[in-house]
Amino acid sequence: MPTPSRSQQSILIDAVFYSRDKHLMEAFRDRLDQLERRQQLKHVSDIRDEALLDRFLELGITAECLAALGLVPLVWVAWADGEVAAEERDRIVAMAQATGIEPQNGRYPLLEHWLKRRPGPEVVAAWKDFIKQLRETMAAEDLEALRREILTRAGEVARASGGLFGFGERVSPAEQAVLTELEHTFDESPGSL
């Protein structure tokens, strides 16, 4: 059997190293993509715990998904009384900005749509289903942190327009009912949904 020429050997070596380098480059790109996705999640959620962010990524939770996860309860509470008060709208937009949700051309298309037109029941149902999936996959302490954050923000929206001149009942019975339902959504008992 003839021995391969020097140029054939060089081609073979280049092919082996190209294949290996290609694999290393793909792994490097995958790692960069994960770091970028983690950074996006951090920006949108204001969560600094990188292990929790990595668990979100493992569950397939994107920055967009996490942003929507946080907005649905706020909009739901705002619509509890049948309309969104200006103070509630302003509070929700401020919360969106504070969590890093960036406007597109100076606007928040989906959020503004939800604030003008009540989202259909399928949006709340999808949110509840998402929370149910998180209950089955997230660590209890992580889920509790998410629950506290969502309930705190929803409570702020509920109190944004309540009372007369800042006096009296700040949360309407309809808003309280939504807040209670939000809390029950996080319960571990299957009958709570």
Segment 137-179, tens digit of pLDDT: 788 888 898 899 899 999 999 999 865 445 555 888 999 999 9
User: CA-based Rg of the chain, rounded to a whole angstrom?
Assistant: 24
What is the C-alpha separation between 96 and 115, in angstroms, rounded? 13
CB 40 within 8 A of CB 63: yes
Region 46-75: what's the mean pLDDT?
A: 77
Q: How confident is the model at residue 193 (pLDDT cuts 50, 70, 90)?
A: very low
pTM of the model: 0.66
| Segment 8-30 mean pLDDT | 69
Amino acid at 126: A
Distance of CA 28 to the CA centre of its chain: 26
Whether 151 and 182 have beta carbons less than 8 Å apart is answered as yes
Residue 192: pLDDT above 80? no
Place of tokens 């998402």: 130
- Condensed to tens digits (0 to 9), the pLDDT of residues 51-62 reads 777 777 777 777
* Each residue's pLDDT tens digit, 104-139: 766 777 788 889 999 888 888 888 888 887 888 788
Residue entry with tokens 């509790």: 144
Query: How many Cα neighbours within 13 Å face the side chain of 158?
Result: 23
Q: Taking all residues of the chain, what is their mean pLDDT, rounded to a whole number?
A: 79
